[in-house]
Chain A
Amino acid sequence: MKVIELQNVGKRYGEVQALSGVNLSVEPGEVVAFLGPNGAGKTTAIGIMLGLKTPSSGKVRLLGQNPESPEVRGRVGVMLQESGVPENLTVEELVRLFGCYYPYALPVEEVLSRADLRGKRRAFVRQLSGGQRQRLYFALSIIGDPDVIFLDEPTVAMDVEARKAFWEQVQGFAALGKTILFSTHYLDEADQAASRIVVIHKGQVLGSGTPAEIKSLVAAKTVRLQTELSAEEATRYPGVERAERENGHLVVYSNAPEVFLQRLFLQGHKVSDLTVKDTDLEAAFVRLTA
């Protein structure tokens, strides 16, 4: 009883191998994050699961069937990256129209409140901000009361606050026992929202596991500083996943940089030129594969 099943799926565009050997199996009720940098193949994989693209090799099953079958389409909700919906309809009109497309529908009122759009119901689509537009697409993805929804990079164009609110809305829908698969290139987002993270890079699945397991592979923060501490000594500090020397700087990958820095200062090490940044995922993935 798998909701999504990919077996050795590959996708080639001419010379470019966009996906290769992707295996995935998603159980009912899971919230799965596809985590990877831009161009990793996330959108292609989602297109294949939805039956909008045909794989060059391998097998795809959605709800146990061919994803293109009308019955499956009626049980699946989608939020695509480009969804140029009619600009001159109001939010409410568009949500109602979409409800008519599906064999079952949630009340428009409920969907508007789940997507926090009640105040915008009479606004035309063209008047919406980037974040509101994303919420509208989310509303369209859940109106048919689908068993599974696909969200392709749903939080682009959202600020931090909006993002947080958005994931609360998604959790609310997941609480109905629904299966959710979304793509993102933010580790913290995947960590916050998903029950399982699938790391994808250059068309291949690098690893899959709970957020905790993945975070131990890919440290969330990069601390860069000048100090006399060696990389080897730094590795023994609490909260440090990995450390290395780079152009005269010590570079530390950590999920708890404050713990590491506190110890560093307490021990009286000389520190200058200190920066703490979110780990550049692409760089982290390159290390993972190396």
Chain B
Amino acid sequence: MNKLITNQPRTERRLSPTARRSGNILTMVLEQMCSEIFSYWRVPEFLVGTVIIPVILFLMFGANVSAVLPEGTAVKALLMASFAAYGIVNLAIFTFGGDIAAERGRGWLRLMRATPVPAWVYFAGKFALVALFGAAILLVVFVAGYLTGVRLGLETWAKAFFTLLLGSLSFSTLGFALGFLARPRAASTIANLVFLPLSFASGFFFPLNQLPQFLQKLAPYLPTYHFGQLAWGSIGTPSDVARFTNQPPESALGHVLWLLGGFLAFGVLAVWGYRRDRGEQLR
């Protein structure tokens, strides 16, 4: 019986006279990206929370620091990188984690699954959002740094900018794992519970050399710490950064490998969460 059905001729496509060809993959991705960006651009709380808070923290706790390290790196420049790193990780975890959980809870993801749009298009929209708002965070913090006296070579500014922006990618899978595993209502609380201690213990709010010993020992096991190291390393000399963080110098490659390892580990978790969520809908 089943065989008979599968071998049936396909039912006829009944196009309306006004229907036009659509579904171009490039247009689909671009429209998805624009929709994500527009829909958050219109939420002032989102702009303030992600773009304005890092610069306010920098102006309060970093801009008035005038110390200079032995090899000439200004502590203020390193603090600027710290608050920028905080802003980037915050954006990544809340966009990739909190938002996805919320949209899953509201039924938006289920509706999208009932359409022919491939799942990766949805994720591409989130990446575009993080790239654009991440760039905005960095621009605002860097401009504030410049106006309060941070002076770096053009090449150094660019290096810091791209290191921080690309670093946001490494937290995408942590966010996805959270987005698909956390219960929708609990997700933003969990994001805070995960992310604030991570930021603090990685020296984003206060330099690591001012934190208690046990946190200094813990930090090298946190992905955020390695992200911070890359950011500081893009601005200061290795021995100045070592003094600033009170950690032995390590090669940039080591930090990149740590981030990559975290990316893959959380990636496995995220895929598991995604499948589980899909399974729950398939039940």
Residues of A within 8 A of B (CB): 1-3, 5, 7, 13, 28, 50, 52-54, 59, 61, 63-65, 70-71, 73-76, 78, 80-89, 93-94, 96-107, 110, 124, 140, 144-145, 147, 176-178
Contact (Cβ within 8 A) A145 B11: no
Contact (Cβ within 8 A) B18 A82: no
Cα distance, A147 to B11, chains bound together (Å):
9
Closest 4 CB pairs of A and B: A84-B106, A82-B107, A105-B22, A88-B39
A-B contact count (CB 8 A): 149
Contact (Cβ within 8 A) B114 A73: yes
Number of interface residues of B (CB under 8 A): 47
Contact (Cβ within 8 A) B16 A53: no
Which of chain B's residues have a CB closer than 8 A to the CB of A50? 114
Which of chain A's residues have a CB closer than 8 A to the CB of B20? 104-107
Which of chain A's residues have a CB closer than 8 A to the CB of B111? 78, 80, 83-85, 140
Cα distance, A74 to B31, chains bound together (Å):
18
Contact (Cβ within 8 A) A1 B282: no
Query: Shortest distance in angstroms between B13's beta carbon and chain A's nearest beta carbon?
Result: 6
**B12-37 vs A, Cβ < 8 Å mask (1 yes, 0 no):** 11111011111110011001100100
Contact (Cβ within 8 A) A98 B15: no
Contact (Cβ within 8 A) A103 B11: no
Which of chain B's residues have a CB closer than 8 A to the CB of A83? 107-108, 110-111
Q: Select which of A7, A89, A110, A176 is within 8 A of B39 by beta carbon.
A: A89
A-B contact pairs, 17 of them (CB 8 A): A7-B2, A63-B11, A64-B10, A75-B13, A76-B114, A78-B114, A84-B106, A84-B108, A84-B111, A85-B111, A86-B108, A88-B40, A89-B39, A93-B35, A102-B22, A105-B23, A147-B13
B18-63, CB < 8 A from A? 18-24, 27-28, 31-32, 35, 38-40, 42-43
Contact (Cβ within 8 A) A86 B35: yes
A7: nearest residue on chain B (CB-CB)?
B1
Contact (Cβ within 8 A) B18 A106: yes
Which of chain A's residues have a CB closer than 8 A to the CB of B9? 1, 64
Contact (Cβ within 8 A) B31 A96: yes
Residues of B within 8 A of A (CB): 1-2, 5-6, 8-16, 18-24, 27-28, 31-32, 35, 38-40, 42-43, 103, 105-108, 110-118, 281-283
Cα distance, A53 to B279, chains bound together (Å):
8
Query: Shortest distance in angstroms between B11's beta carbon and chain A's nearest beta carbon?
Result: 5
Cα distance, A106 to B5, chains bound together (Å):
31
Q: Select which of A3, A74, A84 is within 8 A of B116 by beta carbon.
A: A74
Contact (Cβ within 8 A) A73 B35: no
Contact (Cβ within 8 A) B106 A28: no
Contact (Cβ within 8 A) B13 A53: no
Chain A residues touching B, majority SS:
loop
Query: Shortest distance in angstroms between B33's beta carbon and chain A's nearest beta carbon?
Result: 11
Query: Shortest distance in angstroms between A179's beta carbon and chain B's nearest beta carbon?
Result: 9
Contact (Cβ within 8 A) A147 B23: no
Query: Shortest distance in angstroms between A210's beta carbon and chain B's nearest beta carbon?
Result: 23
Known contacts A3-B11, A78-B114, A96-B31; is-contact A84 B16 (Cβ 8 Å): no
Cα distance, A177 to B13, chains bound together (Å):
10
Query: Shortest distance in angstroms between B102's beta carbon and chain A's nearest beta carbon?
Result: 8
Known contacts A87-B39, A89-B35, A145-B19; is-contact A102 B105 (Cβ 8 Å): no
Which of chain A's residues have a CB closer than 8 A to the CB of B27? 100
Known contacts A64-B5, A89-B35, A89-B38; is-contact A101 B116 (Cβ 8 Å): yes
Given contacts A13-B283, A53-B282, 19 further A-B contacts (CB under 8 A): A1-B11, A3-B11, A5-B5, A54-B283, A63-B11, A64-B5, A64-B6, A64-B9, A81-B107, A83-B108, A89-B38, A89-B39, A105-B19, A105-B20, A106-B16, A106-B19, A107-B18, A124-B42, A144-B116
B21: nearest residue on chain A (CB-CB)?
A104
Cα distance, A78 to B112, chains bound together (Å):
10
Contact (Cβ within 8 A) A52 B31: no
Contact (Cβ within 8 A) B116 A80: no
Contact (Cβ within 8 A) B23 A103: yes
Query: Shortest distance in angstroms between B8's beta carbon and chain A's nearest beta carbon?
Result: 5
Cα distance, A83 to B107, chains bound together (Å):
5
Which of chain A's residues have a CB closer than 8 A to the CB of B1? 7, 59
